Amino acid sequence: MARKSSLSGFPEWLPQERLVELHILDTLRRTFELHGFSSVETRAVETVGQLLRKGEIDKEVYAVSRLQDEDAGAGDDSLALHFDLTVPFARYVVENAGHLAFPFRRYQIQKVWRGERPQEGRAREFTQADIDVVGDGTLPFRYDVELALVIAEALGALPIPDFQLRINNRKLAEGFYRGIGLSDTPGVLRSIDKLEKIGAAKVAQLLKSELGATDEQAEAALSLAAIRSRDTSFVQQVRSLGVEDPLLEEGLAELEQVIAEASRRAPGKVIADLSIARGLDYYTGTVYETVLVGHESLGSICSGGRYDALASKGNRIFPGVGLSIGVTRLVTRILNQEFAAASRHVPTAVLVTLADDDSWSAAQDVAATLRSRGIPVEVAASAEKFGKQIKFADRRGIPFVWFTSEDGTHEVKDIRSGEQVPADPSSWAPPAEDRWPAVLQQSRPAAESVAPELN
């Protein structure tokens, strides 16, 4: 169970917990780089004008000003901490368009800040890991398929319970609503977005009272949102509702492509879920959400979508598609439910002991030889009794202690088994699994609820 942080909403990890987080970050980085994504970091601050341009709720934003600056205003030029990595990346693309090769694939792993009320799964400072592909003018739809596959692979490599990517398409939804005579797409999406929270009956009321929908329109919208399938059978289910619209057809064809390919390459990880709305206005096609199966109340651990016009520079537009993994949300759940743990608390595999105080420099030579061969080593700081030096290692979880006798011969002891053998610093190595701390998945605890049944 993770400890309470001393400042609510700003989690900090103990070294052994940080090893779990580092494992997550390293695994994501490796997967993204194997898929050709370049690392980018943007500054932590944006101008307030830039941040609010896309209509995010400004209450969540942390303003930044020099402590002694009495002229600090709240104008568009004043600074604030970024609340996601998409808006800063859009600015970065526009500013550096002349230096980038499009379609540009980037991953970005950084802290973001939101002044929300803290609770599990919602921190004020947290780490996101984003991937996006951005085109210059156009971006082939295939990237919508590819990004779902990359994310399924990345999440599949993490020590987490089973997950499910829920995918929908804005064109499909917008076309359908238009087909039944509801033209306020954002309004309908906002209502549908509340489905899980307030239920179908209340959403129907909202559609009727706020958007003037008839009973039949509300029912049709809810019928669409009820459709889920692990394969492409959702197409037939939508068609059976009898609505016709060219945009609906376009969206159906797109979502069919994503689900067909993803259900083949990542079986069981991806479903078409026509209730997924995603609050943000800038999505224009595919939208993604991801839940941990049995931990749905945690909320989405990875979301995103296609945005055709997030970034532009004069007449030039940069359409993109991307997803963002909530790393801190995942790590918090992993630690709280002990899904995974580090095999030891410190990097050190070997403690080189001191026979007497004058042997420190010789011990450093042994350590340097071992390190030059990629073995993490510490040297004892003082020549206490060997029992105390071994206890020092044991308390840290350092598996091996090294002894050098006066005649220059060496021995190494595995303090778990007690086995002690002669060793040469230029050739001895610990077993591969002991070289570095490993992060091991634990047996899976009971899920917090039963996953919903699907067709």
Of the residues 38, 214, 426, 441, which one makes contact with a copy of itself according to CB under 8 A: 38
For the segment 93-122, give every residue that binds a copy of itself (CB under 8 A): 95-96, 99-101, 103, 105-106, 111, 113, 115
Give least dist CB 446 to a copy of itself, A. Answer: 27
In sequence order, what DSSP letters do the residues of 96-122 get, joined into one string?
A: HGGG-PSSEEEEEEEEEE--PPPBTTB
Is residue 266 a contact point for a copy of itself (CB under 8 A)? no
Question: 7 or 226, CB closer to a copy of itself?
Answer: 7
Q: How far apart are CA 93 and CA 98, in angstroms?
A: 9
Instruction: Calculate ∠ Cα 382-402-383, nearest 5°.
Output: 15
The CA R_g of the chain, rounded to the nearest whole Å, is 27
Which pair of tokens denotes residue 260?
């067909």
Is residue 426 a contact point for a copy of itself (CB under 8 A)? no
Is residue 376 a contact point for a copy of itself (CB under 8 A)? yes
Of the residues 162, 265, 317, 362, which one makes contact with a copy of itself according to CB under 8 A: 265
For the segment 349-368, give every residue that binds a copy of itself (CB under 8 A): 360-361, 364, 368
Closest residue by Cα to residue 166 from 153, 184, 148, 150: 148
Give least dist CB 124 to a copy of itself, A. Answer: 9
Q: Cβ–Cβ contacts within 10 Å for residue 79, how many? A: 18
Of the residues 194, 202, 239, 264, which one makes contact with a copy of itself according to CB under 8 A: 264
Question: 3 or 388, CB closer to a copy of itself?
Answer: 3
Q: Which helix (H) or strand (E) holds 217?
A: helix 215-225
Is residue 386 a contact point for a copy of itself (CB under 8 A)? no
Q: How far apart are CA 402 and CA 410, in angstroms?
A: 7
Is residue 455 a contact point for a copy of itself (CB under 8 A)? no
Cβ-contact 40, 107 below 8 angstroms: yes
Say which residue the tokens 């009956």 belong to: 201
Is residue 157 a contact point for a copy of itself (CB under 8 A)? no
Query: Which residues make Cβ contacts (< 8 Å) with residue 434, sequence separation at least 6?
Result: 349, 399, 400
Is residue 19 a contact point for a copy of itself (CB under 8 A)? yes
Is residue 427 a contact point for a copy of itself (CB under 8 A)? no
Q: Which helix (H) or strand (E) holds 163?
A: strand 163-169
Length of the chain (residues): 455
Question: 54 or 265, CB closer to a copy of itself?
Answer: 265
Is residue 385 a contact point for a copy of itself (CB under 8 A)? no
Which pair of tokens denotes residue 189?
């999406």
Q: Which range, of 228-236, 238-246, 329-337, 339-347, touches a copy of itself by CB under 8 A?
A: 339-347
Give least dist CB 13 to a copy of itself, A. Answer: 7
Q: How far apart are CA 405 and CA 392, in angstroms?
A: 20
Give least dist CB 280 to a copy of itself, A. Answer: 19
Question: 74 or 421, CB closer to a copy of itself?
Answer: 74
